[in-house]
Amino acid sequence: MLKNNTETVIENNKVTYKRYFDVPADLLFEVWSRGEHLTEWWGPDGFTLTINSLDFSNGGIWDFVMHGPDGHNYKNKIQFLDINQPYSITYKHIGDGEGDADVDFHSKIVFESAGEGTNLIMEQLFSSKAELERVNEKYGAIEGGKQHVGNLARYLDKISKSN
């Protein structure tokens, strides 16, 4: 596992991001599951987040808006499929929740204890290689994923220093 860097592997219709964090799995899981943390780091560079509702439970829905640096608002809904605290979170991105499922994929986030820290493994699974390529071309999904994990790293560094 790479320290202080995100390893990205693309295989057919799946993108996997891996990164080591020098924090316990419990803390890493918490910043993925609580609104007060998510609004501080979620998304690619330059994005901010407004949470409309967050039901962090199996079958629960997270309804949020990502505010892009381009001035556009991007409505999103995620359905949590399997939450196994503090080991993993599996969810399905279900578009904007208003019939537009332009971006439809599954994610599995794994929090793997590694000494005093945690390996984060974030897998995004698309319906096909063509769909992954389309979403990457339209939204810059792969680079956005790298930035997403980088923003998480910066946030964890910030809260670790304040404790």
Calculated CA dihedral for residues 93, 109, 145, 113, nearest 10 degrees: 170
123 occurs within a structural domain: yes
Domain membership flag for residue 112:
yes
Question: For residue 94, what pLDDT is reported?
Answer: 86
Residue 98: per-residue pLDDT:
57
Identify whether 2 is part of a domain.
no
Q: How many domains does the chain have?
A: 1
In a domain, 1, yes or no: no
Judge whether 141 lies within some domain: yes
For 95, the domain range is: 7-162
Low-confidence ranges of the chain (pLDDT < 70): 1-4, 97-102, 163
pLDDT, position 1: 40
Query: How many Cα atoms occupy the beta-carbon half-sphere of 53 within 13 Å?
Result: 9
Classify the phi-psi angles of 28: left when phi > 0, otherwise alpha if psi is within -120 to 50, otherwise beta: alpha
Whether 29 maps to a domain, the answer reads: yes
**Would you state the pLDDT for residue 37?**
98
Nearest to 15 by CA among 101, 121, 138, 96: 121
Q: Quote the pLDDT of residue 161.
A: 78
Residue 95 lies in a domain: yes
Instruction: Flag whether 66 is in a domain.
Output: yes
CATH code of the domain containing 41: 3.30.530.20
**pLDDT, position 102:** 67
> How does pLDDT run across 85-122, given as a tens digit for each residue?
999 999 999 877 555 556 778 999 999 999 999 999 99
